Amino acid sequence: MRKISTSIIVSIIACVLVASIAVGAISTKVAVKEINKEAREKLSAMSLQYAGDINMKYQNLESLAESISSYIVGTYEPIRLSDKAYNKAYMKKLGGYLARITQLHPEVASMYAYTEPEVQLGVTGTWYSQGKLVEMDAVSEYDNYLNRAANWEWYYQTKEAGEAIWLDPYYKEAFDKSCVSRCEPVYVEEKLVGIIGVDVDFNEISDMIRGISIYDTGRAFLLNTKQQFLVDESYTITDTLESVGYIGLMEALKENSTGVVEMDLGGVKSLVSFVKLDNGYTLVLLASVSEVESGIASMQRSAFFVILFVSLFICIFAFMIGGTISNPLKKMVVDLKKMQESDFTGSEYVKYLNKKNEIGKIAIAIDKVQKSMGHVIETMSGEGKGIREASGNLGSIIDDYNNMVTNISSVSQELAAGMQETSNMADHLGETSKRMEEYVAVMERQNGEGIENIAAIYDRAGRLNKESQSAEKENEILIDTTKKRLEEAITDSGQVEQINELTKAILSISDSTNLLALNASIEAARAGQAGKGFSVVAEEIRKLAESSKDTAGEIQRITQMVTESVKHLCDCATQVLSYMDTNVRKTYQHQVEISKQYHEDAENIDGILKQFSDVAKKISGENEVIMQVIDSLQRATTDGAVGTEEVAHSAEGMLHGTQGLQEAGVKLQEIVHEMEATIAAFHVPQEEA
């Protein structure tokens, strides 16, 4: 018996030591694996959660920018891009829309829109922040644009890109804060008419990233599309992954958009989780592997001391009871082996239940364990079924709810898009109605002027008829009178010959005067100083005589020309009289007929224009009614678009919540299946009825 007892003691001690060491090693290995797995899952979940929050902010900005762009495309007239007055009025109207959006979205720092400065040679735009207009000096801003100043860099970058872009964070002097901007060029009929922008405070995103806590020294940072550091505790935007030596992270980003990898960063072995955002940025979370596994060493030390303590206790206990447990122990070992195999139906211990020693206590303990395990397993089995049914019902409810939220989100988004399109069409119809009203007013005014002109034409036609008839009679008289006067003029033209005789007399007088002036000059010279004044007069008389002589010669020449012209004029006059007698008389008769028809046509046109004026007034009245209906429709669609957009955002948030519930339900079902599989491995005695 002693030999069996010793063997039992030695075996117990050996088994305990081997089991303790094996359990310690396996526990340590499993713990390392689970801790690494948990750390990876934690980093991945954190990065996806924060990336989702950041993406949500950026997606809201993109939606706002797209809505403004769609509004401009639907209402702007690109043919009037160079019209400064039109652009100024349009931007004033657009400003009201921007003011309303910035009031409804307090997360937006500012919104702005500018037309193309190079076309209109100036700056025209609107800029709103928190529902208030931001004033600007158009002249100085145009100079800044031409010089590509820092505050216009966003415009040049967007124009060069030719598509919607995200700008890296920059300092906004107007708000004294760092902002990130969504800028989008607006093309109407494939023509760039301007660029819009939406700003959001980047400090909120920066503070959120800096506030991410990962173990003791872990940190998070944000990279732009050029892999420059936008947010980090150690590096600035002048640093890149390549410049700081994060080559492994660069290669991982080339291969995947999201993931968790273990790599050496700056000489430190780290776990790195990365997610690329929708706007091209990358969110990175990292933690030191040594910190992740720091709890393993203390756990190993604790396990060692526990194993040592248990081993010593078992050795002492084995020596104390070894001599008394050999035979009963052999029989109860059978039940214990069954229990080890999850079979709690053994009955060898029953005969030792009434013993008062340790063997009896072990038997009682085995009995209690079997009964307790039977009760526990039965209870767990019943509860497991209930949990499984509840989990299945929860999964169905979550699926139905998820589908319902998805349908609500889709319908609300489609409704918002339809509302926005309806609003744009209403704006366009409103502008068209206004132009129609202007055209009708111009048409009515011109029609009134036409009626007045027709009335004047009608009067002139009557007068023309009378005057034509009168002119015809006067023409007859004129022809007869002109004939008589022409014959008299031809007779009188013979008197021109008398001019030649008068001219000869003038020449004779001129010669005598010239001789007299010469004699006077000689006498003045003899008189000396006293005759000097008379000498001047004599000289002037001589010049006058010479001039008279020249004039008389010219008169003779002109007289000859006049004689010839009179003869020619007589011939032409005779031809004119013949023409007036034949052609002009017929022309006057035809003019009388035309003026009569002209008078009748003017009367008919006057009636048509009056009917046209009545129709234009009716059109104007109907157009006013249409403009009132369009205005009501525009207000209703604008309010509806804003409401449906808010419903879509709420539905999207609900969808994320139901996805989390759905994942929890799936996890619960997995736990239930594992629990049922574990329970099925146990065999317990059936309770007697």
Q: Per-residue pLDDT for 218 more than 80?
A: yes
- Assigned token pair, 245: 């030596």
pLDDT of residue 320: 66
User: Has residue 1 got a pLDDT over 50?
Assistant: no
- pLDDT winner (highest mean) among 231-240, 373-382, 442-451, 464-473: 231-240
Ranked by mean pLDDT, the top range of 166-180, 571-585, 652-666 is: 166-180
For residue 472, which of 586, 392, 639 has the smallest C-alpha distance? Answer: 586
User: What pLDDT shows up at residue 641?
Assistant: 65
Q: Which residues contact 238 (CB under 8 A, 6 or more apart)?
A: 228
Q: Exposed, middle or buried, 293 (CB in 10 Å: 0-12/13-18/19+)?
A: middle
> How would residue 452 be classed by pLDDT, with cut points 50, 70 and 90?
confident
Supply 323's token pair: 């001599």
If you search the block for the tokens 């339809």, which residue do you land on?
A: 418
Contacts 24+ apart (CB under 8 A), 548-555: 548/506, 548/509, 548/510, 548/513, 549/507, 549/510, 549/511, 549/514, 551/506, 552/503, 552/506, 552/507, 552/510, 553/507, 555/499, 555/503, 555/506
Of the candidates 180, 193, 183, 190, the one whose C-alpha atom is nearest the C-alpha of residue 163 is 183
Nearest to 133 by CA among 98, 108, 88: 98
Rg (CA), the chain: 57
Alpha carbons within 13 A on the beta-carbon side of 568: 6
Q: What is the per-residue pLDDT for 644?
A: 67
Instruction: Kindly tell me if the per-residue pLDDT of 200 is higher than 70.
Output: yes
Q: How far apart are CA 652 and CA 252, in angstroms?
A: 31
297 pLDDT band (50/70/90 cuts)? low
Place of tokens 């060692």: 304
pLDDT band of residue 6 (cuts 50, 70, 90) is low
Tell me the residue type at 415: L
User: How distant, in Å, are the alpha carbons of 21, 29, 674 from that of 26?
Assistant: 8, 5, 21
Distance from C-alpha of 102 to C-alpha of 110, rounded to nearest angstrom: 7
pLDDT at 84 over 80: yes
Instruction: Look at residue 689 in the predicted model and tell me its pLDDT.
Output: 42
Please name which of 78, 109, 73, 80 lies closest in space to residue 94, comparing C-alpha atoms.
Answer: 73
pLDDT at residue number 239: 92
Partners of 214 in the β-ladder: 218
Q: Read off the tokens for 280.
A: 């091209």
What is the Cα–Cα distance from 676 to 604, expressed in whole angstroms? 103
d(CA 488, CA 468): 30
Secondary structure (DSSP) of 660-688: HHHHHHHHHHHHHHHHHHHHHT-B-PPPP
Q: What is the 3-state secondary structure (H, E, C) of 310-321?
A: HHHHHHHHHHHH
pTM of the model: 0.42
Between the alpha carbon of residue 372 and those of residues 337, 342, 380, the distances in Å are: 18, 13, 12
For residue 96, give the amino acid letter: G
SS3 labels along 429-480: HHHHHHHHHHHHHHHHHHHHHHHHHHHHHHHHHHHHHHHHHHHHHHHHHHHH
Nearest alpha-carbon partner for 222 in 213, 207, 551, 111: 207
Please say whether the beta carbons of 195 and 186 come within 8 A: yes
By CB atoms closer than 10 A (0-12, 13-18, 19+), residue 449 is exposed
Structural domains for the chain: 76-205 (3.30.450.20), 360-502+575-689 (1.10.287)
CA separation for the pair 124, 141 (Å, rounded): 10
The letter for the amino acid at 409 is S
What is the separation, in whole angstroms, between the first and last Cα of the chain? 42
Amino acid symbol at 18: V
Q: What is the pLDDT of residues 240-296, one digit of tens each?
A: 988 988 888 888 888 899 999 888 877 788 889 999 998 889 999 988 888 777 766
Q: Which residue has the tokens 């006049």?
A: 562
- CB distance 437 to 623 below 8 Å: yes
- pLDDT at position 103 over 70: yes
Cα separation, 518 vs 547, whole angstroms: 15
- What is the band of 322 on the pLDDT scale with cuts at 50, 70, 90? low
- 469 to 38, 456, 529, 597: CA distances (angstroms): 116, 20, 81, 14
Rounded CA-CA distance 264/270 in Å is 6
Q: What six digits make up the tokens of 682?
A: 């146990």
